[in-house]
Amino acid sequence: MAVSDKLMLGFIVRRCAREIGHAPTPEEFAVWANGQEEAGRRYSLFGSPISPADARVMLRHPARLVTVRPDSAVKSAAR
């Protein structure tokens, strides 16, 4: 697996909002974060699946630093 990065959660939430077209609900955020794909392989953005309850907490703390994997997926989103 690629080296992980620490990113501000708000960056990840904004990326999700851009991809789905609106601010995500906790349920939408969990589905989006758990359903990432790169080169035909599916993965969870946070290394392991999150629940809607986890997403609800995460959405309340956008300034928090979180670990995101894989590195290349995050870099490609910043373009």
pLDDT digits (tens, 9 = 90+) for 38-71: 888 888 988 889 999 999 999 998 888 887 765 4
Per-residue buried b or exposed e for 11-31, using 16+ beta carbons within 10 Å of the residue's own CB: ebbebbeeeeeeebebebbbb
Instruction: Indicate the range of 13-17, 62-66, 75-79 predicted with least confidence.
Output: 75-79
- Average pLDDT on 10-27 reads 94
Task: Answer whether residue 79 shows pLDDT above 80.
Answer: no
Q: Between vectors from CA 32 to CA 31 and to CA 35, what angle results, nearest 5°?
A: 80
- Average pLDDT on 13-24 reads 94
Amino acid at position 51, single letter: S
Q: Residue 40: which domain range?
A: 5-77
Task: Answer whether residue 2 shows pLDDT above 70.
Answer: no
Burial class (CB in 10 A: 0-12, 13-18, 19+), 56: middle
